[in-house]
Chain A
């Protein structure tokens, strides 16, 4: 290429960029939230991810990925206390398909991990997809500086810090303190120590933790939601078959969307309100670009 041609191309290119600024800014093409309804948990998860631009947007070749479901309770999938195993499985499959080096599935549960991992169906499902299902490793607990507004330091499983990408896969449930437990509350499962003491200022803790862990993607399982007696439920009548998955990068927005599952305005949840005021994310659903579909 001659110098003259190069300069000409350069000028042409910059001219084009001046009038078409979003040419390279691909992010603009994608919705803020993918809100998919459908019969199959795996299918709606796949659709949600592809609406957001496909898993390649979040996971690169060679990444170590952590998929963080809620495996907190010794409950079966139908009781909707833990994330739907099919949703978890799909995300493991997709991440591995995008060339992830390894996909770990970890949660520090409330009931014994051996029981919750098995009875939630998550261990089997994630293993089937090729994920590494790991019990929380006490040797990997490390007191870390979280630099939150209130929570300055706490014991964290270092797997979460060492991973290249974190995908948060909560389930939407009621909770008597934060009213709802969704994505941001899910981070308590990445902590060790006497985390029950964190309930004294739970709203701020949730915000501080979410900012620390910075998931690249949040996929909220709303296939079955727990409408009362959360966060464990028990009776099948506590569960509503809602058949929805909401995914997005803005984790505050995802939780805001989840609030509407329960006919609660996002503004009515104090932690979302605080997070919004701090500028962490958007809770006004009207300001968001939402792709809502039924498959």
Chain B
């Protein structure tokens, strides 16, 4: 028996790695390019998401509206329908990361692949069922586990900030060893990249991501084979594809190498055991086959295909869990009273619709020029975890900027022109007179007024009598908020010189998107507008 690996499939494997690299580079380039572009409008840096049929489907079902950009997702479906899950094996950047780490773990002997015996591949289908049942009741949890959302969110809030921190430390080191010119140019480079590096849950989300990477220590591409709901969705659509594995029984020496090293447990051996829905066409099996016994010929005629054993019982159970999740994820006080800290980015839809559409991808948090948009933890209830909120203590909403609304891939934040954006109210500012420097100390301070971006300013300075501890009376200029003009951008809170807890702060009341979360009724407002 001639022992020789197939040159053809080794070449195809190399091409696959090239393709993965190219797509990862594109992804990373778009990720870093998701920042202030130098002008008012940014290109379609979020395009990756529009090729994702899972997000397309869940936002469509959950919100009952069609978002035109998702038309690209049809291409992915057609591709999978005809060629199988090549998108998983050749394109998906998260899949590439998993594959790269699996390879590294395997090379370093941290992972020693065994012949798989389990049927855990079914999990992802149950997860998909769980998510889809939720969407029927407008609960959109797809973003938590969708691979693009997961990857993007983890990079934006965890990985990039950590890398940025390391980069700063490296530059600091360059300065300590007196490499000044190099340090100078790297600082400018870093500033040009403008990576937002402060995230409330950066540690949490970043650690979760590293945990998901470490799962590859247990099985190769653990995430892709067991957990990925998009993989499951594509698995379901790939049954009729035309590229089918064929083993030449004469050449096969039954060494099981293909099974052991199959990235996604597609079970290439024995001959009729191959599961088309699990194969991501990485061509590892055909490339490592010592006798070149494996081929992937094109066979337009469908044949009987081995499927993943989905237990009907478990599928029903997962669906029931999805049903149960609906009320459970909505156990939140926000139904009683609007959350004051739930300040949504300008252009965000009314809360109910917003939650149906937001896929927690963090595009808006990446592009925000002030780092003010942060992933929510409890502010929006369990349903709204990792959705964007403005935290003015960290960053404010830049007046002439509508970038977050432009990059939102699902329209949860409606795209706004700059002129429209400046009119959107996202909250109102309140002076804490107990802490404000003029009100409390009689000392001048106009910082909030100075920074107020509206014209005329929403913060007025009014002479105010202040009693000092010695009984004397001072009359400093003190800030008073004009709620008719305030748009809630939060720059006042952000710049307030009361360093620990700002003496002026923004809450969500008055936000344009809400009918209920209003301070004054419209009837009264009409009479009193001085401008």
Residues of A participating in the B interface, judged by any CB pair closer than 8 Å: 74-75, 110-115, 118-119, 134-135, 137-139, 175-177, 194, 196-197, 199-200, 202, 229, 231-235, 238
Cβ of A113 and Cβ of B191 under 8 Å apart? yes
Does B245 belong to the interface (CB within 8 Å)? no
Known interface pairs A115-B401, A176-B446. Does A233 touch B455 (Cβ–Cβ under 8 Å)? yes
Question: Contact check: which of A113, A175, A194, A233 meets B497 at CB < 8 Å?
Answer: A194
Q: A114-B194, A119-B400, A197-B497 are in contact. Are A232 and B453 (CB under 8 A)?
A: yes
Interchain nearest-CB distance for B118 vs A (Å): 50
Inter-chain contact A234/B454, CB cutoff 8 Å: yes
- Known: A134-B188, A196-B497, A200-B497; 15 extra A-B contacts, CB below 8 A, are A74-B399, A74-B401, A110-B451, A111-B398, A112-B36, A112-B194, A114-B191, A135-B188, A139-B183, A176-B477, A199-B446, A199-B497, A202-B444, A232-B451, A234-B453
Is B321 positioned at the interface, with any CB of A under 8 Å from its CB?
A: no
Residues 453-473 of B, flagged 1 when their CB comes within 8 A of A and 0 if not, give: 111110001000000000000
CA distance A161 to B416 in the complex (A): 44
Q: B499 on the interface (CB 8 Å rule)? A: yes
Task: List residues of chain B with CB within 8 A of the CB of A197.
Answer: 497, 499
**Does residue B412 face the partner (Cβ distance < 8 Å to A)?**
no
What are 25 A-B pairs at a CB distance below 8 A? A74-B400, A75-B400, A110-B495, A112-B369, A112-B370, A113-B191, A114-B36, A114-B191, A115-B369, A137-B188, A139-B172, A177-B444, A177-B446, A177-B450, A177-B477, A196-B496, A197-B497, A199-B446, A199-B450, A202-B444, A232-B450, A232-B452, A232-B453, A234-B455, A235-B455
Chain A's closest residue to B368 (CB) is A112
- Write out the residue numbers on chain B whose beta carbons fall within 8 Å of the beta carbon of A115: 36, 369, 398, 401
* Contact partners of B499 in chain A: CB under 8 A: 194, 197
A139 cross-chain contacts in B, Cβ below 8 A: 171-172, 175, 183, 187
Contacts of A110 in B (CB 8 A): 451, 495
Report the minimum CB–CB distance from A243 to chain B (whole Å).
22
- Determine the chain B residues whose CB is within 8 A of the CB of A200 once the complex forms: 437, 443-445, 497
CA distance A158 to B370 in the complex (A): 25
Interchain nearest-CB distance for A184 vs B (Å): 16
Q: Nearest chain A CB to B178's CB is how many angstroms away?
A: 12
Smallest Cβ distance from A239 to chain B, in angstroms?
A: 10
Look across to chain B and name the residue whose beta carbon is closest to the beta carbon of A178: B446
Closest 3 CB pairs of A and B: A234-B455, A135-B191, A196-B497
- Give Cα distance in the complex from A262 to B496, angstroms: 29
Q: Which residue of the partner chain, among B36, B194, B450, contacts A176 with CB atoms under 8 Å?
A: B450
* B171–chain A nearest beta-carbon distance, Å: 6
CB-based nearest A residue for B499: A194
Q: What chain B residues lie within 8 Å of A231 (beta carbons)?
A: 450
B38 at the interface (CB under 8 A from A): yes
Within 8 A of A (CB), among B151-172: 168, 171-172
A194 to B437, CA, bound (A): 15
Q: Looking across the interface, which residue of chain B has its beta carbon closest to that of A133?
A: B188
Inside 8 A of B370's CB, which chain A residues have their CB?
112
Count class of interface residues, chain B:
35 or more
Whether the Cβ atoms of B183 and A74 lie closer than 8 Å is no
B495: chain A residues within 8 A (beta carbon): 110, 196
- Shortest CB–CB separation between residue B133 and chain A, in angstroms? 43
Cβ of B192 within 8 Å of any chain A Cβ, yes or no, is: yes
Report the bound CA distance from A107 to B192 in whole Å.
15
Asked whether, in the complex, the Cβ of B192 is within 8 Å of the Cβ of A114, the reply is yes
Residues of chain B contacted by A196 (CB below 8 angstroms): 447, 495-497
What chain B residues lie within 8 Å of A229 (beta carbons)? 455-457
- Is there a chain A Cβ closer than 8 Å to B449's Cβ? yes
Least distance between A88 CB and chain B CB atoms (Å) = 18
The residue that A118 contacts in the complex, of B38, B188, B453, with Cβ under 8 A, is B38
Contacts of B447 in A (CB 8 A): 196, 199
Q: Which residues of B contact A177 (CB under 8 A)?
A: 444, 446, 450, 477
Instruction: List residues of chain B with CB within 8 A of the CB of A137.
Output: 184, 187-188
Assess A199 versus B187: contact at CB under 8 Å? Given A112-B370, A114-B369, A229-B457: no
Residues of chain A with a CB closer than 8 A to B453's CB: 232, 234
A84 to chain B, nearest CB (A): 19
Decide if B16 is an interface residue (CB 8 Å cutoff): no
A74–B461 contact, CB under 8 A? Answer: no
How far, in angstroms, from A137 to B183 measured CA to CA in the complex? 10
Q: B275 near A: Cβ within 8 Å?
A: no
Which chain B positions have C-beta within 8 A of A176? Answer: 446, 449-450, 461, 477
Let me know if B357 is at the binding interface, CB within 8 A: no
Residues of A contacting B444 with CB < 8 Å?
177, 199-200, 202
Distance in angstroms between the alpha carbons of A196 and B504 in the assembled complex: 14
Task: For the complex, give the distance between the alpha carbons of A176 and B448 in Å.
Answer: 11
Max chain B C-beta neighbours (<10 A), residue from A118, A135, A138, A232: A232
Report the separation of the CA atoms of residues A75 and B36 in the bound assembly, to the nearest whole angstrom: 14
Q: Which residues of the other chain, B, contact A233 by a CB distance below 8 angstroms?
A: 455
Residue of B nearest to A119 (CB): B400
Q: Does B50 contact A (CB under 8 A)?
A: no
Among B191, B456, B496, B499, max chain A CB count under 10 A is at B191
C-alpha spacing A10/B313, complex, angstroms:
115
Q: CA A202 – CA B443 in complex, angstroms?
A: 11
B108 to chain A, nearest CB (A): 36
Nearest B-chain residue to A203, judged by Cβ? B444
**In the assembled complex, B344 has its CB within 8 A of some CB on chain A:** no
**Complexed CA–CA distance, A111 and B451 (Å):** 9
Instruction: Give per-residue flags for B396-414: 1 if the beta carbon is below 8 A from chain A beta carbons, else 0.
Output: 0011110000000000000
Q: Could you tell me the distance in whole angstroms from the C-beta of B419 to the nearest C-beta in chain A?
A: 12
B221 at the interface (CB under 8 A from A): no
Residue B35 CB within 8 A of the other chain: yes
Interface centre among A113, A196, A232 (most CB of B within 10 A): A196
Q: Which residues of B contact A119 (CB under 8 A)?
A: 400
Q: How far is the CA of A115 from the CA of B496 in the complex (A)?
A: 21
Residues of A within 8 A of B401 (CB): 74, 115
Task: Name the A residues within 8 Å of B175 (CB-CB).
Answer: 139
A residues less than 8 Å from B445 (CB atoms): 199-200
Tell me how far the C-beta of B123 lies from the nearest C-beta in chain A, rounded to whole angstroms. Answer: 44
- What CA separation (Å) do A274 and B470 show in the bound complex? 28
Contact B398 A112 (CB under 8 A): yes
- Tell me which residues across on chain A come within 8 A of B457, comparing CB atoms: 229
Which residues of A have CB within 8 Å of B172?
Answer: 139
- B175-195 vs A, Cβ < 8 Å mask (1 yes, 0 no): 100000001100110011010
Residue of B nearest to A123 (CB): B38
Return B333 CB to nearest CB of chain A, in Å: 35
Question: How close is A273's CB to chain B, nearest CB, in angstroms?
Answer: 16
- In the bound assembly, the distance between CA atoms of A196 and B437 in angstroms comes to 12
Residue of B nearest to A236 (CB): B455
CA distance A102 to B251 in the complex (A): 72
Measured between beta carbons, the chain A residues less than 8 angstroms from B35 are 114
Q: Which of B369, B455, B497 has the most CB of A within 10 A?
A: B455
